[in-house]
Amino acid sequence: MNFIDLLKRIPEICKTPETLPLEGKKLILDFVTWLGSLVGIAVPPWVLTLVNILVVIVAIIAVFLIMFALMSVWERKILARAQNRYGPNRVGPWGLFQPVADGIKMLTKEDIVPRNADKVVHFIAPIVMLVPALILPVLLPYGRGMVAIDLSVGILFFFAVGAGSEVAIFLAGWSSRNKYSILGAMRAIAQMISYELPLVMSAVIVALVAGTLSPTGIVEAQGGYQFGFFPNWFVFTPWGFVACVLFYFSALAESNRSPFDLPEGESELVAGHLTEYSGFKYALFFMAEYVGMFAINGLLVTLFLGGYQAPLPFLTFIPSWCWFFIKLAFLAFSLVWVRATMPRFRIDQMMQFAWKFMLPMSFAALFSAAAWHYAGRGLLGWGISAVLVAIPYFALGYFCFTRHHSADNRRYLFSE
Amino acid sequence: MQYLPVLLQVIVAIGFAAAALIFSVLLGKSGRRNPTKDSPYECGMLPIGGPQPRFAVKFYIVAMLFILFDLEVVFMYPWAVAFRDFSLKFGGSTILWSMISFIGIVTVGYAYAIKKGVLNWGRQDVEKSN
């Protein structure tokens, strides 16, 4: 084997886009073997295993950080368009180099630590925030046979690791010794633990139907087409639709996105747990939030939107890993759209929505899914589970929200 | 061995974060300190009161309820994984009814918490329930 052969393989690999990432990885492994033969030693197998893992990890981190950079400028563009202005368009073509400029600015800023702050914890918090966020993307299947770690308990592990960011937020709020920081942190924790229940419950529903907790297994369970053209994705069943909507809003709340951005409500709490952070520590928090947001939406794609499956049979010529990222980009766009459209919740509305509406609805969706399973997973099951979901939906809507929220007559005071 | 990639990922992530922070220390400007800059940020006003305000007990109650329900949901994971094979092998809905009875017990506690007004966060709601 020589270097020319390796170079010759590159155009061959590019001919089949479906397997391009896997073949690319093999090429890098062969390159390492070739490097070893150049020095005159046989590369030991454990080095190859290590390189194999590291290539995947570095690739995933790089992809997600590039997505974060693009998202930060894309989000500002979309928000600007929603508000009838241009958004960033000065740095590079269409403002595409804006994230680079932001990064350099963040790196060169002074890092201010308040004198009373707990300095060690204040330093650790951004790292503790970033590490779980960077572990999450490793667990997702990006294409056929493209999963970095195929854990049999992948979904459970995802939620277990994802809960680490709550600890980091509390570390940040507590160590700042600022009352807005600690208030923001307490609110963030109350919100995140409240919305974790519907989030985890919707995943239980999918595990019940698919009979596995492995992300790859769940995507495979959604393969194939009904009547030859209708995809078997879980979102197209009544229980799956309800679980998907619950998961989407819980994911919004988990990643502290608008309209659930109370912990950072600038009109009440300055910037919540981020108040005393400046410079690159702030940038790390920002990065962790966005990577976590991509990861949890990637899980939504895996659980409900068929993962890497194509939506229609004749679209399978587009490689599977492209489909995953197309769906993820669509979800990311919808998140910005929601942010541009919705006003912020009030804290009592937010807690009531989580505990009195989403939690019972997730149990209703669970029983609806069980009924769908017992009715033979066909059209009959579809109808029964639709009824089983609709009844609690209207009942909860009637009891929880219409009765208490007729506003009192407004009393006019002073200037009015 | 299955979790080796996770360990490597943790190392890479910590390395990335630490390297970025060290870079920012090296590249960042270091201004002069003064008492005003060292004080907690309160939008430019002098800080009022201590750094740790008192918290409503509602936060702690929500945390306790969360532990209760989160344990319940974690119990449901093995059940959910076993559900499909069990119901296909043995037919019948025993496995469903056993979970319904379990959820029923927890629902009693949930109804009690709602009746006590634990989940009412608004001022008006609290006044009403008192």
How far does B130 lie from chain A, in Å, by closest CA?
16
pLDDT of residue A297: 92
pLDDT per residue over A128-150, tens digit each? Answer: 888 888 888 888 888 887 888 88
Mean pLDDT, chain A, integer:
83
- A73 or A264, greater pLDDT: A73
pLDDT per residue over A9-18, tens digit each? Answer: 777 777 777 7
pLDDT per residue over A167-185, tens digit each? Answer: 888 898 888 888 888 888 8
Q: Which residues of chain A lie closer than 8 angstroms to B37, CB-CB?
A: 112
Rg (CA), chain A: 24
pLDDT of residue A270: 75
Cβ contacts below 8 Å, chain A against chain B, sum to 192
For helices A279-303 and A98-108, the axis angle rounded to 10 degrees is 140
Q: Inform me whether the C-beta atom of residue B43 falls under 8 Å from chain A C-beta atoms.
A: yes
Q: How far apart are CA A402 and CA B20, in angstroms?
A: 51
Q: Inform me whether the C-beta atom of residue B57 falls under 8 Å from chain A C-beta atoms.
A: no
CB atoms within 10 A of CB A132: 23
Which secondary structure element, helix H or strand E, spans residue B105, and what is its range?
A: helix B94-115
Contacts of A55 (CB under 8 A, 6+ apart): A25, A28, A29
Contacts of A242 (CB under 8 A, 6+ apart): A361, A364, A365, A368, A389, A393
Q: Which residues of chain A lie closer than 8 angstroms to B16, CB-CB?
A: 61, 130, 134
Q: Inform me whether the C-beta atom of residue A108 falls under 8 Å from chain B C-beta atoms.
A: yes
Searching chain A, which residue's CA lies closest to the CA of residue B39? Answer: A114
Q: Which of A177, A190, A208 sits opposite B51 (nearest CB)?
A: A177
Q: Which of A178, A197, A281 sits opposite B40 (nearest CB)?
A: A178
Chain B interface test: which of A49, A61, A193, A268 (most B C-beta within 10 Å): A193
Residue A388, burial from CB neighbour count under 10 angstroms (0-12, 13-18, 19+):
buried
Q: Inform me whether the C-beta atom of residue A53 falls under 8 Å from chain B C-beta atoms.
A: yes
Angle at A185 between CA A180 and CA A187, to 5 degrees: 95
Domains of chain B: 4-129 (1.20.58.1610)
pLDDT per residue over A278-324, tens digit each? Answer: 778 888 888 888 999 999 999 999 999 888 888 887 877 788 888 88
Q: Inform me whether the C-beta atom of residue A123 falls under 8 Å from chain B C-beta atoms.
A: yes
pLDDT of residue A406: 54
Searching chain A, which residue's CA lies closest to the CA of residue B84? Answer: A211
Q: Which residues of chain A lie closer than 8 angstroms to B20, CB-CB?
A: 107, 280, 283-284
CA-based nearest residue to A304, from A338, A334, A327 = A327
Write out chain A in H/E/C secondary structure.
CCHHHHHHHHHHHHHCHHHHHHHHHHHHHHHHHHHHHHHCCCCCHHHHHHHHHHHHHHHHHHHHHHHHHHHHHHHHHHHHHHCCCCCCCCCCHHHCCHHHHHHHHHHHCCCCCCCCCCHHHHHHHHHHHHHHHHHHHHHCEEECCEECCCCCCHHHHHHHHHCHHHHHHHHHHHHCCCHHHHHHHHHHHHHHHHHHHHHHHHHHHHHHHHCCCCHHHHHHHCCCEECCCEECCHHHCHHHHHHHHHHHHHHHHHCCCCCCCHHHCHHHHCCHHHCCCCHHHHHHHHHHHHHHHHHHHHHHHHHCCCCCCCCCHHHCCCCHHHHHHHHHHHHHHHHHHHHHHCCCCCHHHHHHHHHHHHHHHHHHHHHHHHHHHHCCCCHHHHHHHHHHHHHHHHHHHHHHHHCCCCCCCCCCCCCC
Let me know: does A128 contact A286? Beta carbons within 8 Å.
no
Residues, chain A, total? 416
A252-279 per-residue burial string, b: 16 or more CB within 10 A, e: under 16: bbbbbbbbbbbbbbeeebbbbbbbbbbb
Let me know: does B61 contact A351? Beta carbons within 8 Å.
no
Does pLDDT of A261 surpass 90? no
- A101 or A36, greater pLDDT: A101
Q: Which residues of chain B lie closer than 8 angstroms to A210, CB-CB?
A: 84
pLDDT of residue A402: 52
Q: Which of B9, B25, B103 sits opposite A363 (nearest CB)?
A: B103
Least confident of A202-211, A222-231, A366-375: A222-231
End-to-end CA distance of chain B: 57
Residues 99-128 of chain B with CB under 8 A from chain A are: 100, 103, 110, 114, 119-122, 125
Average pLDDT for residues A263-277, to the nearest whole number?
Answer: 76
Least confident of A120-129, A168-177, B37-46: B37-46
- Tokens representing A332 are 């990311």
Let me know: does A19 contact A9? Beta carbons within 8 Å.
no
Q: Which of A148, A189, A197 sits opposite B73 (nearest CB)?
A: A197
pLDDT of residue A407: 57
pLDDT per residue over A50-104, tens digit each? Answer: 888 888 888 888 888 899 988 988 888 998 988 888 888 888 788 888 888 888 8
Q: Which residues of chain A lie closer than 8 angstroms to B42, CB-CB?
A: 178, 180, 270
